[in-house]
Structure 1
Amino acid sequence: MSVGERAIRLEYLPEYVFGEAAEPLALALPPTMEILQAPLAPQTGPLAFLWDLVPQGRGRQHLAGLLGISDQDPARDLFLAQHGAFAPIGRLRLDTAVRFYEEHAASTPAPGFTLDDMVHRTDAFLEQLSVHGMLAAGTPGVQGVAPKFLLTQDETERWYPDVALPEARARAHWIVKLPRGRHETDFRILRHEAIYLQVAAACGLRSIDRPLHREGMLFLPRFDRRIEGGRVVRLHQETLATLAQMPGFGRSACLFDATERLARHATHPEIEISEFLCRDVLNRALRNPDNHLRNTSVQQLPDGTVQLTPLYDLGPMYLDRELIARASAWRGANNETLDDWNAILERLAIEEAIKPSVAQALVAFAETQLPRLVERLAALEADADIIEACKPAIEAQIRGLRRVDTDA
């Protein structure tokens, strides 16, 4: 891949096209000998996967400072990726970024640190993050506003910046997330993200069922990495924005388009569409409006199965002081927002044969899971005011889903 001033040129090497295990850069971009050229800032297209590699949040700010450029200029997105995509989520990385990291990271091995070092922000923890340059202000490989670190545990359960530990010693991989800011509300949202993820798992959705929240830090096991036979296996992961071929950030999206793309690429469309729609219901019931397409991803398992990743970035974002609104909606023919599930299912362009089972999954979710949300939130010690704020939304979703026609 080469990036010019105005265009990107991309081509697969022959060994990726004709090899026994040819793997795509993105699900919508299968390996071929075709040379692809596209504008540097396309509105849509298969090069959307590059924006999954672009640093955001604190990592973007830190990297832009190292490069002497503005972190606010969208035109520098791919320039930042060329320097920051040295160990992003998923199995892709850019060689230019790897070289940049190697030039700026310390040559001495990191001694590692303990859980107590992290939660108490000890000098040992902060020094190691500082020594490893770009990791100090939030790993550029993780997107989102909240500061995040990619950390790896060794055989003694000590923690290291991800790329600072040799892979042969890796035993577990984590994302460690801090609050978006220092306001009390930011800490509440992060604590409830741990609660919400457990509630989602209890509802039968694909979620992290044992997140660890300690002293204003949220520890989440990574699901793009596995340890198999003593080696690290990287799973392909891409956001729904990439799947829908929507580059850039901050874009509103139509959930019909995203769902239809998911159905097209998922190995088991019936299961994944049911999961996706139930997640949308849960987002509404628990008052999480932060539903842009980068907050949902798909992954490809080693056996080739394409499915939604576990849930992430699920919390009571209605509390956020930036007044976050739903970025993605079910939009009708005249761009109106649809809320009636019968109308949504009727308009959804997926195989007619699977629509009844998808409808049945939604109704079952309303009948067996939604009525228990308040109980589950209370059992996990969610704040009383958040539970009360969710009750009307939960009831609204139950009423709406009880009207779904499961025979359509």
Structure 2
Amino acid sequence: MTASCTIQLHADDAWHDIGVVTLFGTPDEGWRARAYTGYDVEWAVRYQLARDAHAMTCRFSVGLEPLDTPHWPVFLIDLLPQGFGRAELLHRLGLPETAEERADWPLLLAGAANSIGNLRIKEAVDWLAERQGPQQGFTDEEVVARGDAFSEYLAAHGFFVAGSSGVQGEWPKLLMTRADNGLLYLDHTLPDERAIEHYIVKFGRGANASLAQILRHEAPYMALAQRLGLRVHAPLELRDRSLFIRRFDRARVDGRLVRFAQESIASLTGKAGFGVVPSHDEVCWHLVRQCTDPQAEVAEYLCRDVANLALGNKDNHARNTALQRDFEGRIALTPLYDFAPMYLHPDGIARRIRWEGNDGGQPDWGRVLDAVVRISVPQTAEAHVVLDRDALRARLSAMSPGLREIADHGVDLGLEHDVHAFLKPGLERLARELDAVR
């Protein structure tokens, strides 16, 4: 098995070989293997110092200097199939589900052909091309019902085919695209010129009532997030037990399909693996130094944490928030995603990312503001501006009326009665706390 892979990046309507990741460790070490990453010389000269969508990651700007890491570069870990997609691909590769890290390298070389964002692994594209079946479109009703023709088609492709299951998470998900004929296709099977609308379709699983309730709340939760002033891409649509999520990593610009770069805050903060998370303080430190408009992004980040606490979304791990980078130099948080009442999860999920020394589930927001302003002070050779505390405080205070509205009228806004009853005291408390911040 080769110990290197070719990074391809989509720009200007085409895929480009832009660099290589080579393992110094053995492939069996998985993501823990020491790695050497470098840009192609021609790409490095053409886009020197770029950190936007022309780069593999904002932490490794385009250039001739290589990146030597004690583990895989974290942007590469973002491309690894996880959840149901990982389990299905392991089966397809003849590997046991207990393979853990030793399966990472073969999974990358087979499963990273069509990931979220604008990066892919060339070897995975080749692997998928050798197993490409016939192209087939389906009506919305066939997808929602998971009808016989759709189910048989998936089964023939190994159920969660590598190219259209490039989304991390525990719910079964497929990348599907609406074509010019109105039908839905597995995303990797449809040429860009025929693509009209791109979706992540998340399917309900099993008979667990709590998991079903979480899925039912994703669409109203996104509407509540918009009501609270958060950055939201588009309404979500639940059809029976299938949730249609419009993707924000792709857009039509002047008739051409543009793929925006996307990387998790695990990649932003350099946290490798899946068990380690940064603190909120660390995330804000990096947002200040990487984003085009630090004031706007830190404000958005703070408001999302308020919303997570107010609405019981405890699953705030390092891959449930991400950065988007475009080709004009803009680096910012993506629109909100994976926003749901995860306190209902039967496994009992704990809040993962916390404020340093100030987070027992009820942060002191005045101290939070002091902390983010303090970490924004430029160090030697840094040129960014210190965050405006008053503006951040005003943004938090502006959430109070929305929190009270949800507390008073949550059922009218889409919450089920038991969820609303559980959340109401916390919503009222948070509204009071934000009003009191000075």
Question: TM-score, normalization: structure 2?
Answer: 0.85
Tell me by how many angstroms 1:153 deviates: 0.6
Amino acid at match of 1:365: M
**Among candidates 259, 263, 282, match of residue 238 of structure 1:** 263
Structure 2 counterpart of 1:340: 364
2:89–2:161 CA contact under 8 A, matched in 1:
no
| 1:130 maps onto 2:155 in alignment | yes
Separation in 1, partners of 2:122, 2:342: 36
User: Residues 190 and 241 of structure 1: is their aligned pair in 2 closer, same or farther, counting only changes over 3 Å?
Assistant: same
**Which of 89, 92, 99 matches 1:66?**
92
Give SS of 1:293's match.
coil
The C-alpha deviation readout for 1:12-61, integer Å capped at 9, x for no partner, is: 001221115851100011012112233346xxxxx111111011011100
Q: Distance in 2 between matches of 1:125 and 1:325?
A: 37
Alignment of 1:368-383 (within 5 A): 368-374=401-407, 377-383=410-416
Q: Pick from 26, 36, 39: which aligns with 1:9?
A: 36
**What percentage of residue pairs aligned between the two structures are identical?**
36
Report the CA distance shift for 1:396/1:77 in structure 2 as closer, same or farther (over 3 A).
farther
CA–CA separation in structure 1 for the residues paired with 2:143 and 2:67: 45
Displacement, 1:208?
Answer: 3.6
Does the 8 Å contact 1:55/1:81 carry over to 2?
A: yes
Q: Helix, strand or coil: the match of 1:104?
A: coil
Residue identity opposite 2:65 in structure 1: E
Contact between 2:92 and 2:158, CA under 8 Å: does it hold in 1? no
Correspondences of 1:4-403 after superposition (within 5 Å): 4=24, 5=26, 6-20=33-47, 23-40=54-71, 47-72=73-98, 73-106=100-133, 108-110=134-136, 112-133=137-158, 135-136=160-161, 139-179=164-204, 181-332=206-357, 339-348=363-372, 349-351=375-377, 352-366=386-400, 368-374=401-407, 377-403=410-436
* CA 376–312 in structure 1, closer or farther in 2 if over 3 Å, else same: farther
CA distance in structure 2 between the partners assigned to 1:213 and 1:336 by the alignment: 34
Q: CA RMSD in A?
A: 2.1
The number of equivalent residue pairs is 396
- Contact 1:300–1:307 (Cα < 8 Å) also in 2: yes
TM-score by length of 1: 0.92
Residue pair 2:179, 2:194 contacting (<8 A) in 1 also: yes
For 1:347 and 1:150, how far apart are their aligned partners in 2? 39
Separation in 2 of the partners of 1:137 and 1:376? 43
Other-structure match for 1:44: none
Partner amino acid, structure 1, of 2:342: M
> What residue identity is the alignment partner of 1:350?
S
Distance 1:220 1:189 in 2: 15
Q: 1:178: Cα distance to partner?
A: 1.5
Structure 2 gap segments, 5+ residues each: 1-20, 27-32, 378-385
Deviation at 1:123, TM superposition (A): 1.4
